[in-house]
Amino acid sequence: MKNLIEYMGIEPERFQTSWISGSEANKFQQTMENLVADITKLGPNRKLRDMR
């Protein structure tokens, strides 16, 4: 999936998957913070959106 998205020209950082258990609050928080940081770095997404 990630490879395919990358192949179609979308930044792979925008799509991330993680395995987090319901009891791993810290891991969830950390993952979300990293994701937000990654995406902020990339800036707003212009691809795959509202191209009508």
Partner 1 sequence: MKAIENQIKEIAARLLQSGEVNIFLAWEKGDYEYQSKPYFARSVDDVDKIVFDQYCIHNLSNSLLKFRDSSDKIGLVVKGCDSRGIVRLLQDNQIERSRLYIVGVACPGMKDPLLAMKNHSGLFKVETEPEVAAKCQTCRYPNPVIYDELLGDQQAPRPQEARYAQVDAIEQMTADERYKFFEDTLSKCIRCYACRQACVACNCRLCIFDEMRPQWVGRETSLSDNMMYHLVRASHMAGRCIECGECERVCPVNIPLMLINRKLIKDVDKFFGPYDAGIKYEEGVKPPLSLYQENDPDNFI
Residue ranges that bind partner 1, judged by CB under 8 A: 1-11, 17, 47-52
Q: Tokens 């691809």 sit at which residue?
A: 47
Contact 12, 5 (CB under 8 A): yes
* Sign (positive or negative) of CA dihedral 12, 15, 19, 22: positive
CB of 25 to partner 1, least distance (A): 22
Output 40 or 51, the one with its CB closest to partner 1.
51
CB of 28 to partner 1, least distance (A): 18
CB of 21 to partner 1, least distance (A): 16
